[in-house]
Amino acid sequence: MKTQREQIIHTWMTSVLDSDQFEINFLPGDASFRRYARIKLNNKTFMLMDAPPEKEDCVPFVTIDQFFDRHGVRVPHIVAQDLQQGFLLLEDFGDVLLSTLLNNDTVDAYYAQSFQQLIALQAIDGAAHFPEYSYEKLMSEMALLTDWLLPSLNIQPTQDQQALIKRTFAILANAALAQPQVIVHRDFHSRNLMKIAGETELGVIDFQDAVIGADTYDLISITRDAYVQWNPKRVYEWFKVFYDLLPEAAKQDRDFQQFKRDADLMAIQRHLKILGIFVRLFERDGKTGYLKDLPRVMWYLLEESKDYVELQPFMQFIHDQVMPKFEQKYGTYEVIAE
């Protein structure tokens, strides 16, 4: 028995494809209210995005998809749209996520390809088209740690600890703003890049939150992926590969050591946010799938912060107050040796 929404979808698809002889298969969900279905008609397939307007706004996706498409970013072409009902019919990239192809032997080549695509993305002038990754935005993202992770562990920071947390967040936000500002995908990791049959370039999805921000952000999204971990030494080698690809303007007064620092501090900002988001996805939205990745993200935070003196008071708070309860509730991360 079709739901009312599915009947509306069927009617729309029939009018768009000029046929009712199509197959429709809904795919497993993600972290949002959007859902996707593969549409098959004769030997051709499409991807339907179903985003109920009261829950999800499709306009940013459409605007950014069309902008990226015009500028040569490998995003899905939009075949048809009805924003009032929340439907998009997209080119089908297939099912092969980059995450399923990565291993010790393949990762260097795939990451090198993704870096070239990032450099091309960063070369596009998007200042007039995307919001800024502002100080306020960076700070509010890190506040997810204090809003969700700490309460989930029954930790209530003292006034002094609150001030320490805020000072540390400010250091990280300012470090991000001091870097060259470019288009940032914001979720450029192995589950949002796809291997398209017959193409070298990776398909790029889930870009609707793009902003203008630090040029290291997308690099650390993929090399310090919340879902996969690589040897830290190898990650720094990838940083160097990426650094060498940067335009001269991005390397001015910024040697590789400074770039490495920029990337580390950006990664720490991102992992503080993700720790909060994964708890929120569980507690607010009932999504349990992300809890198993929490210990890895915490491991990243502990690992990346070691070399930075200015972060040590905050990290002492994490070690002393947070880690005992965190490990008890969410477990520990077993480091994978290469």
What pLDDT does 31 receive?
Answer: 53
Average of pLDDT values for 290-307?
Answer: 95
Residue with tokens 């397939």: 45
Which helix (DSSP H) or strand (DSSP E) does residue 273 occupy?
helix 256-283
pLDDT at residue 338 tops 60: no
Distance, in Å, from the CA atom of 205 to the CA atom of 223, rounded to the nearest integer, reads 17
Q: What is the DSSP letter of 228?
A: -
What pLDDT does 248 receive?
Answer: 97
Helix (H, G, I), strand (E, B) or coil at 114: helix
Distance, in Å, from the CA atom of 208 to the CA atom of 75, rounded to the nearest integer, reads 11
Q: Calculate the alpha carbon distances from 329 to 93, 150, 292 in Å.
A: 38, 12, 11
Is residue 114 a contact partner of residue 193, using CB atoms and an 8 Å limit?
A: yes
Would you list the DSSP string of 51-67? --TTT---HHHHHHHHH
pLDDT digits (tens, 9 = 90+) for 253-290: 999 999 999 999 999 999 999 999 999 999 999 999 99
**Per-residue tokens: 293:** 């990745």
pLDDT at residue 159 tops 70: yes
What pLDDT does 55 receive?
Answer: 87
**Residue 81 backbone dihedrals phi, psi, to 5 degrees:** -150, 150
- Who's near 73: CB < 8 A, 6+ residues apart? 117, 120, 121, 124, 204
Amino acid identity at 197: A
Average of pLDDT values for 314-333?
Answer: 97
What pLDDT does 336 receive?
Answer: 62
Span between the terminal Cα atoms of the chain, in Å: 51
What pLDDT does 226 receive?
Answer: 86
pLDDT digits (tens, 9 = 90+) for 206-250: 998 999 999 999 999 999 988 888 999 999 999 999 999 999 999
What pLDDT does 250 receive?
Answer: 97
Amino acid identity at 168: T
Residue % of the chain over a pLDDT of 90: 88
What pLDDT does 218 receive?
Answer: 98
Is the Cα torsion angle 106, 108, 112, 114 positive or negative in sign? positive
- Which residues on adjacent β-strands are paired with residue 193? 204
Q: Which of 128-142, 182-196, 324-338 has the lowest mean pLDDT?
A: 324-338
pLDDT at residue 337 tops 90: no
Helix (H, G, I), strand (E, B) or coil at 11: helix
Q: Which of 198-202, 266-270, 333-337 has the lowest mean pLDDT?
A: 333-337
Average of pLDDT values for 166-177?
Answer: 98
Residue with tokens 């700490």: 150
Domains assigned to the chain: 4-91 (3.30.200.20), 98-330 (3.90.1200.10)
- Which residues on adjacent β-strands are paired with residue 88? 49, 81
**Per-residue tokens: 281:** 């996805």
Q: What is the DSSP letter of 103?
A: -
